[in-house]
A and B are shown apart, each in its own frame.
Chain A
Amino acid sequence: MKDIRLINNTYNDDKVIDACSIFGAMNLSGARFSGESVIKAIANMHDRGNGLGGGFSIYGLYPDFTDQYAFHIMFLSQRARKDAEEFLLKNFNIVYKEEVPTRSVPVIKNPPLVCRYFLDTGAAKPEDISDDDYVVEKVMEINTGLSDTFVFSSGKNMAVLKGVGYPEQIAEYFCLEQYKGYLWTAHGRFPTNTVAWWGGAHPFSILDWTVIHNGEISSYGINRRYLEQFGYMCTMQTDTEVVAYAVDLLIRKHNLPWKIVAKIVAAPFWDDIERMPKKEKELSMALRQVYGSLLLNGPFAVIIAHQGEMIGLTDRIRLRPLTVGEKGDMLYLSSEESAIRLIAPELDKAWIPMGGEPVIGRLKDKTTKESKMVKESVTVGDKK
């Protein structure tokens, strides 16, 4: 049995600061920037985690392969890679594949092999099923059916790279300072109730959805059973996984806007619903009835991202921290303001959202009619 006190505190004086750290940075104009600043910011919250998980999501990463599904797959054995590649060949057209470049970092012990595959759906896909649904189905088949094989991410023009280590070590291992994206999220893990392994590091992802999380989803069992009815299989042994599948179901499949999704996963209290105007009350009650099984119970602060959007949300009584910084086109979300200030000292605005109210950063509209450019940058609702 490892002595967790020695892992968490090498000073051996019983002082342990433990909480996950979450950080997100997005350029709302879509300009891509290197991972350097994000790595610096998440490393500033080093003490929150304990080196048992770190990870990143990067959007706008593959301008040469924007139309292909970019599968990032972890293999725990060479045999697994061979089986998985046979599976991919049978079900997709592989446009390009490679091992994800890494450099040797002494503290990263026994890393698994991580490869990326740029895939088109091909003749194997039945006609009556959408590309996205097909990909979700195949990801579930890989995670549940192929041994030693787990899909980190499966979205277009994005990646999830993660592992066991402090986030800055994982970044060094995967050479992330060399990558560029317009949206980055980063996570430093302090595992609470679940194992520390490479698949259990954050972000969790399906298609281009990613979720990083500080807290505990105590409704995991209920959420998981509900999601299984829609074909989502939880295989990563960590509560946060359900959030990724829940947003895929609610937003991509059920076409719900963020304001509604927030009311489902961080539903208003019955007392609050009681005081609402009639229409809003009916809506809120209907949502609690229809989607009661997707209420996320327990403390959480999450940063959810997908192509073009970054969302910060906490539980209704904000049992985990989330703070916001805005500077020009940049939107930052973080567990601690100091991490934002380290890379953007002069913010236009720094503020703390209310529990249960989403902070939404959206890519500015780039439709052809330039005169109709949408000015909306950040939807913050009523801040007070």
Chain B
Amino acid sequence: MTDAKEPLVKIDASGIYYRDLNTRLRNVTANGTRRITLRNVHGQRYIGTDLNGPIEIEIFGTPGNDLGAFMNGPRITVHGNAQDGCGNTMNDGEIIVHGHAGDTVGLSARGGKIFIREDVGYRAGIHMKEYKDKKSTIVVGGTAQDFVGEYMAGGILILLGMNLRRGKSHRAKFIGTGMHGGVIYIRGKVEEYQLGKEVGVAELDKNDSQVLRKLVDEFANHFNYNAEEILQKDFIKLYPRSLRPYGRLYAY
């Protein structure tokens, strides 16, 4: 194998079928490679799936749907936009997108962190989860479209709203619909009607502020922002009113 034990592997992904590309990634990482650069990526799906441990993947281009699906540990940096299903059911690791992302960012994520510099599409964080010390986390620099945090079962979702025009509210509706775990922090205005029926609104307490501080610092580091400036503006916290909203629907 030509890729054996090379510390850095560079792959020109043009024209490579997604199955072949992911097989290649499995092979080079099995051989001990810990840094991979992918150029000319055009829609190959599932990049990073099935990879474990501390691997750095840099992507130039537009990775396909389900980027980092089921991934367990690597850090993927995208120089471009991500498509739908970014971070699908990921278990651990990081995805850092220098652009926007499509629908269902972090769907069913079980752990790991996703940082999106700009906006995200519909249903970001749908049914993301947490268990003990594993808290899936999504930080969005811009705003989200509808159903952000839908059916959220755990984890932390942050909307920074940095590209909202002065005085403008976030536009997402059905925020946190069906939410029954985790927490959403929103910077910028949200009207009551935009919220799902299952969420409550609260001010941040000391613990919230610590969590937020740490994640905003990380976000600012990734994208070269000033964390202090971001944190100066007020945030609201959304929490699930009930941890088991339908517990009595079928059994009582």
Contact = CB atoms under 8 A, between A and B. Distances in A.
Contact of B145 (A11, A17, A352): A352
A336 interface: yes
B84 interface: yes
Nearest to A314: B122
Interface residues of B, number: 32
Contact of B19 (A11, A338, A355): A11
A317 B83 contact: no
Contacts of A341: 42, 61-62, 80
Interface in A324-344: 336-339, 341-342
Contacts of A337: 62, 81, 83, 102
A249 interface: no
Interface of B: 18-19, 41-43, 45, 61-65, 80-81, 83-84, 99-100, 102-103, 119, 121-122, 143, 145-147, 163-165, 168, 171, 193
Contacts, number: 72
A270 B146 CA distance: 16
Contacts of A180: none
Given A318-B103, A339-B43, A355-B145, A384 B171 contact: yes
A355 B163 contact: no
Contacts of B121: 318, 321, 352
Which of A44, A271, A323 has the most B CB atoms < 10 Å from its CB?
A323
A17 B41 CA distance: 19
Interface residues of A, number: 23
Nearest to B44: A338
Contacts of A108: none
Nearest to A352: B121
A275 B83 CA distance: 33
Contacts of A271: 193
Given A11-B19, A44-B42, A317-B146, A336 B193 contact: no
A113 interface: no
A45 interface: yes
20 contacts: A17-B45, A47-B45, A317-B146, A318-B103, A318-B146, A321-B84, A321-B102, A336-B65, A336-B83, A337-B62, A338-B43, A351-B100, A352-B102, A352-B119, A354-B171, A355-B122, A355-B145, A384-B163, A384-B165, A384-B168
